[in-house]
Amino acid sequence: MPLYKLSPSQLTFAWDECPRCFYLKVALGIDRPAMAFPKVFSRIDSLMKHLFAGKPTSALSPELPPGNVSLQGKWVNSAPIRFDGVEASCYIKGAFDSALSFDDGSYAVIDFKTSAPSPAHVGFYGRQLSAYAYALEHPGAKALGLAPISMLGLLYLDPVDIAHGADHKRITYGGEVTWQEIPKNEAGFLVFMKEVLTLLSLREPPPAPETCGFCAYRDEARRHGL
């Protein structure tokens, strides 16, 4: 079986929405049609990174240990992930939002989100952050490594108000900033990764769930000979 490349983001939406589409993309290179991603979210993410670059951790949240925002937008590339009895293997490759360096010598991996905080995000985005943490603590050859990773977390910007400037040439959005720590659990992450690689070890794609519109569209096209 080949060594698959997985991005941390694939372990969130792509995995949850449809295991069959996930398999088709990773194992066979058959992707869903491209979806438009609003440019405003990329712009806000870039502005957040610029705002906090080099700042002390207290600028993000007083709950954080002393340290600073040390790295942003860096690529990670993990050593191969393999399990006994599972044919497929993979490595993690992607670029994280920001890393914090704490005064005690440990690190945190964080992500910026333009939304309201939600308990559901802990497990969902926890996979993505855990993938970055794993890659940093188990780097491949010549890849960036940081250890130990002691914390994962999300920094939310939730837009709540808007103001029009006196000169009528500028509109300013206001937002509430919330820090949410994500429990770091490498053992739990590896249990999840074994499930992922077990799926990728299948000889054929898994059945399509009834909730996947993309799979329903493909099936309808086949029935019409398209």
Per DSSP, which regions of 31-188 are E strands?
A: 67-72, 75-77, 89-95, 98-102, 107-113, 149-164, 171-182
Which residue has better confidence, 38 or 102?
A: 102
Answer for the pair 155, 112: CB distance below 8 angstroms, yes or no. Answer: yes
List the structure tokens of 8: 């941390």
Confidence of residue 226 (pLDDT cuts 50, 70, 90): low
Q: What is the mean pLDDT of residues 126-142?
A: 96
Q: 3-223 belongs to which CATH class? A: alpha beta
Please list the alpha-helical segments (H only) found in the chain: 13-17, 19-28, 39-52, 120-137, 186-200, 213-223
What is the β-pairing status of strands 107-113 and 149-164?
parallel
Query: Above 80 in pLDDT, residue 34?
Result: no
pTM above 0.75, yes or no: yes
Q: Would you place residue 77 in the very low, low, confident or very high pLDDT band (cuts 50, 70, 90)?
A: very high
Residue 223 scores a pLDDT above 90: no
Over the stretch 81-125, which tens digit does the pLDDT of each residue have? Answer: 999 999 999 999 999 999 999 999 999 999 999 888 888 888 889
Residue 153 clears pLDDT 90, i.e. is over it:
yes
pLDDT of residue 53: 93
Across 92-117, b (16+ Cβ under 10 Å) vs e yields bbbebbbbbbbeeebbbbbbbbbeeb
- Domain range annotation of the chain: 3-223
Confidence (pLDDT) at 36: 66
Q: Average pLDDT of 206-220?
A: 85
